[in-house]
Amino acid sequence: MTSHPISHGGPLSGAGVAPVTSVVFDLDGVLVNSFAVMREAFTLAYAEVVGDGEPPFEEYNRHLGRYFPDIMRIMGLPLEMEGPFVRESYRLAHLVEMFDGVPELLSELRHRGIRLAVATGKSGPRARSLLDTLGIQGQFEVILGSDEVARPKPAPDIVLKAMDIMGADPDRTVMVGDAVTDLASARGAGITAVAAMWGETDEKTLLAAEPDVILHKPSELLSLTVP
């Protein structure tokens, strides 16, 4: 794999394109590695609400990026699972870690004057609590959850709201995500869709969605900005 961003003819390709001044990040799988915690929370919620049987976490994992109640509807699982899932997610939040290079990336982006936002499938309160626990909440101008917009991802609402709050220029804004829903949300908002490949994403599925830019490690995002 290359260690450099790969352009697929999106808004950032070609000479003379304005550098990025605003970044909207997804949270899970992009800034933080929360898969083990999500698996445990899902398993406990499934056992508590559904009962015996193998929790279908792999199927759940394929829908990451969406709001939890929407995933339950898609999978035909009880919406009552949300309560214990959220409870366990809060309880286990101290086990979530940032990906290598993320703290340094955020600090450097802020140093360069880049405006930063988070737009996540989590609820807003849970996202802000997690980022506060990790000590990086203050790096972001806005942190939005799927419960704070009319339509969660893959609709563009959450990205558009983050951009509106930041006063972001669509031609100089990117959305960094690890799921097809993130790319769809970015495109619906008229901004560049960037694929983050450093988590546990389904690489084949994500590449099939033809992201505008592919990044293999967090630091590569800096190449889209002005030092």
**Ranges of each domain in the chain:** 6-33+97-224, 35-94
Give Cβ neighbours of residue 160 (< 8 Å, ≥ 6 apart).
189
Identify whether 28 is a catalytic site residue.
yes
- Amino acid 62: pLDDT: 86
Task: Name the one residue in this structure whose structure tokens are 């929370």.
Answer: 41
How far, in Å, CA of 151 to CA of 67, rounded?
Answer: 10
Contact in structure between 3 and 214 (CB atoms under 8 Å) = no
How far, in Å, CA of 45 to CA of 190, rounded?
Answer: 37
Length of the chain counted residue by residue: 227
- Is pLDDT of 10 > 60? no
- Is pLDDT of 212 > 70? yes
152-171: pLDDT as tens digits: 999 999 999 999 999 999 99
- Amino acid 54: pLDDT: 94
Contact in structure between 92 and 40 (CB atoms under 8 Å) = yes
92-136: pLDDT as tens digits: 999 999 999 999 999 999 999 999 999 999 999 999 999 999 999
Q: How many CB atoms lie within 10 A of CB 226?
A: 11
The tokens for 158 are 């959450």
How far, in Å, CA of 197 to CA of 101, rounded?
Answer: 13
From start to end of the chain, where are the E strands? 6-7, 22-25, 32-33, 97-98, 115-119, 142-144, 173-177, 192-196, 213-215
How far, in Å, CA of 87 to CA of 84, rounded?
Answer: 5
How far, in Å, CA of 29 to CA of 122, rounded?
Answer: 12
Specify the higher pLDDT residue, 120 or 14.
Answer: 120
Identify whether 147 is a catalytic site residue.
no
- Amino acid 17: pLDDT: 56
Q: Which of 28, 70, 157, 212 is catalytic?
A: 28
Q: Which of 26, 70, 178, 212 is catalytic?
A: 26
Fold of 6-33+97-224: Rossmann fold (3.40.50)
- Amino acid 15: pLDDT: 38
